[in-house]
Structure 1
Amino acid sequence: MTIETTTAGVLALIVIMTLVTLVTRLGGVFAMSFVRISPRVESFINTMASSVLIAIVVPMAFAGDAGALAALSVTTVVMLALKKPLPAISAGILAAALVRYLV
């Protein structure tokens, strides 16, 4: 299977990806409209968010380059120190950029 790289092909892919994203997001909201949000369901949703984050970060920690490891380390330390995600993410991005630039 090949993907056309013409302007029409690229625009078609963008439209398809937009529709898939929209259907996925609206489908989740629609499905959850039938679920009563009890404390147990809320706990499940919060836990799933953490699980997805961990599933993304752990492979990077084991197979990532020096920049990825620096980003992970700096983000962890700043998050533990400040308890605020935005500065921690910013520091992690800066650490990865510096390591990749200097190494």
Structure 2
Amino acid sequence: MSDMSSFIASPWGAALAIAAMTLVTFLCRIGGVVLMSHVRITPRVERGLRALPGSIILATILPVALDNGWPAIVALGAAIAVMATTRIDLLGLAAGLGTLSIIRALL
């Protein structure tokens, strides 16, 4: 084994990888702050920023739900309905998971 591969396989290699990932994460986060400090916040930009978390969640979850068929789509609909009416995230999560569990138990 060469010196570089033995270093990478050692605990120091893992520590270096974690430190590098920490640095990259920090730079990404601070980069967003620096970039947004140069953007004028108009009402239109503010509406877009307020909608962004929901859009990210939908873009992440919807393909998974579509791949898993109608039971996942029904469970996602139940979770959205409960969260929209109660505004309690954990209750929506429980409704979605409970709905999916019931559907899968019946099939």
- After TM superposition, the score normalised by the length of structure 2 is 0.66
For residues 29-73 of structure 1, the C-alpha deviation after alignment (integer angstroms, 9 at most, x for no partner) is: 11111112111110121233322111101111012489x928635
Correspondences of 1:18-37 after superposition (within 5 Å)? 18-37=22-41
Amino acid paired to 1:45: L
CA distance in 2, matches of 1:13, 1:92: 39
Residues 61, 72 of structure 1: 8 Å contact kept: yes
State the Cα RMSD in Å. Answer: 3.3
* Counterpart position of 2:89: 85
Alignment of 1:45 onto 2:21? no
Secondary structure in 1 aligned to 2:39? Answer: coil
**Aligned partners of 1:74 and 1:95 also within 8 Å:** no
Identity of aligned residues (%): 33
Q: Which runs of 5+ in 1 are unaligned?
A: none
User: What TM-score, normalized by structure 1, do the two folds share?
Assistant: 0.68
Query: How many residue pairs were aligned?
Result: 97
